[in-house]
Amino acid sequence: MSLLVTVTGRDQPGVTAALMDVLDAHGATVEDVEQVVVHGRLLLGVVIAGEGDGFRVTQDLVQVAKDLDVEVEFTPLDDAEPRLQQRHHVVVLGAPLPPAALAAVTRTLATCGANIERVTRLSSWPAQSFELVVSGGDTAELRTRLAAAAVEQQVDVAVERASIYRRAKRLVVMDVDSTLVQGEVIEMLAAEAGCEAEVARVTAAAMAGELDFEQSLRARVQLLAGLPVEAVDRVRAAVRLTPGARTLVRTLKRLGWTVGIVSGGFTAVTDDLQAELGLDHALANVLEVVDDRLTGQVVGEVVDRAAKAAALRRFAEEEGLLPEQTVAIGDGANDLDMLAAAGLGIAFNAKQVVRDAADAALSVPFLDAVLFLLGIPRDEVEQAV
């Protein structure tokens, strides 16, 4: 028979050491230990086993607890080995994140047969987020049911199977327009060419999945025929990163992760982004230029949704990484295949069709919130500055 020893009270140095000294003196075996401190309050659980006088052990532990001004409880345990269950990391994020949302998420976990083993705060700014480690439950069902709860509560939820890959080197591949950078570059080019409204209509239809991307891109690029390269340079200089983008990339790189971009936009912008941010991989469309003016044509194959997914797989292969070690981030229908191909697909302020298909969705306007979905707490992000 094993015994669970639970210690609660004001946290202070020496509590765990004093407890272990008593257990050692009685020849007890420590089978498991869990300890957490929440705002100065200690919760320490130790599972012990031994052949000695159990009454004497508990008596001495009660005396030590009294000396340290903490409470101690004892719970006999069945010695049967617990059945191993699949674990998941569930991240809940919101700005704000009200108790009602946490209640809805935890209630949904229970209805899916998942049990919460641990809860950790990841961030309080720029959004509040918590990571729940849960055992049991089916991955697909958890994602579906929790996504519905997240929509109802207007928060974000991500579900990822627990595995060694969560702590290993990973590849993160991002879309560019309206993900890594603000706005759509082709619309900025269209404004320079005087055809912004027409291009914007085609762009919206393409991103919503209503039009074939390649056909729509070529049609939009044709409208830019005759635009001087000076105008392209002005657009390049006007492009602005999404808030949190620099922090996201810097943190990932310092973790030793690989970061890439794939874009249905143009190398006229992505080349600079790759150099500025130190990105490992990049793929985008090439605008044809003759006599310092755009011809209205794209050189080579168009980077469409299939090409984006293929690029993610190619980048991973070049880095020697498995598909499970990849993360994809995007906002439009052109990103759907890439999100599906990745180990974790994240919809960032995305169209509804993308949110419905992704493994996780973010609705806050800060790209570095992706780090919380990956289980990286805010204090570690700040240490990486």
Q: Which residues are catalytic?
A: 175, 177
H-assigned helices in the chain? 15-25, 54-68, 99-111, 139-153, 185-193, 196-207, 213-222, 229-238, 245-254, 267-277, 305-319, 336-341, 352-357, 370-373, 378-383
Backbone angles phi, psi at 306, to 5 degrees: -70, -40
Kind of pairing, strands 258-266 and 87-94?
unpaired
Answer positive or negative: Cα dihedral of 51, 81, 166, 324. Answer: positive
CB-based contact 273:263 (threshold 8 Å): no
Torsion of CA 168, 260, 333, 340, to 10 degrees: -30
* Separation between Cα atoms, residue 325 and residue 87, nearest integer Å: 17
CA distances from 22 to 41, 46, 178 (A): 22, 12, 60
